[in-house]
Structure 1
């Protein structure tokens, strides 16, 4: 059964990268915004002693447009609710008015993961992680 998530308000998107794929997240990158505009980037890290660090920042409209272009490639990619089929121990979620996709969805269009799928998924995950490292520099209120 597909994930029943209401799309965000018209034009707004939410991108989320989480490590590990399952269990308690130790690293989360969230990008929230609208296409063709700057977006908010938030990184949350939890260490082994349960200390939580949150950083925030903004990325430019050009970076947002590049991210949207990359993420649009994930439309129709395979997913699995409990198995990391891409081998990166990373879960990705994307929610916009046009596309709702997550790597842990139950209803997948296909269950065959190709080498090209894995490369594209890795490129998108690396880009989201890079946005977090590059722009989330300010300490956030916890």
Structure 2
């Protein structure tokens, strides 16, 4: 799990937690520079309005994304009755979703280097 917590136009803290089953096995922390936070915020706006489903992995990547900011509140695991038939998610939306997920994971690898107490 990767958590980025902060404000726009400022640096943010990042925490990467590894789990063994339901138990946390390790945790790394660090700081994300404000330019990278700004870039992340621009990137996550690309998924605004994308369909979501509370029990189906509609993007096929076994990844859960949750965004909570003043600009966007979205999760791919939300109950979205307006989504209609989600069996046909556009390939471009899947690619955008994957790009956002990969970018967040890369932020974790790049900036969460310090061991945290579990």
Fold in common (TM above 0.5): yes
Q: CA shift at 1:103, angstroms?
A: 0.4
Report the Cα distance in structure 2 between the residues aligned to 1:45 and 1:138, rounded to whole angstroms. 14
Q: For the aligned residues, what is the CA RMSD?
A: 1.6
Distance 1:95 1:124, change over 3 A: same
Report the Cα distance in structure 1 between the residues aligned to 2:81 and 2:48, rounded to whole angstroms. 11
Please tell me whether the aligned partners of residues 17 and 24 of structure 2 are also in contact (alpha carbons under 8 angstroms). Answer: no
TM-score (norm 1): 0.76
Report the Cα distance in structure 2 between the residues aligned to 1:40 and 1:73, rounded to whole angstroms. 22
Q: CA shift at 1:71, angstroms?
A: 0.2
Q: What's 1:46 paired with?
A: 19
Distance 1:49 1:106, change over 3 A: closer
Report the Cα distance in structure 2 between the residues aligned to 1:102 and 1:115, rounded to whole angstroms. 18
Distance 1:49 1:70, change over 3 A: closer
Q: What's 2:61 paired with?
A: 88
Query: Whose helix proportion is higher, 1 or 2?
Result: 2
Question: Unpaired runs of 5+ in structure 2?
Answer: none
Q: CA shift at 1:97, angstroms?
A: 1.7
Structure 1 runs (4+) greater than 4 angstroms displaced: 48-51
Please tell me whether the aligned partners of residues 39 and 60 of structure 1 are also in contact (alpha carbons under 8 angstroms). Answer: yes
Please tell me whether the aligned partners of residues 57 and 135 of structure 1 are also in contact (alpha carbons under 8 angstroms). Answer: yes
Aligned match of 1:117 in 93, 96, 105?
93
Aligned ranges 1:103-142 → 2 under 5 Å: 103-110=76-83, 111=86, 112-142=88-118
Distance 1:37 1:76, change over 3 A: same
Moved more, 122-131 or 38-47: 38-47
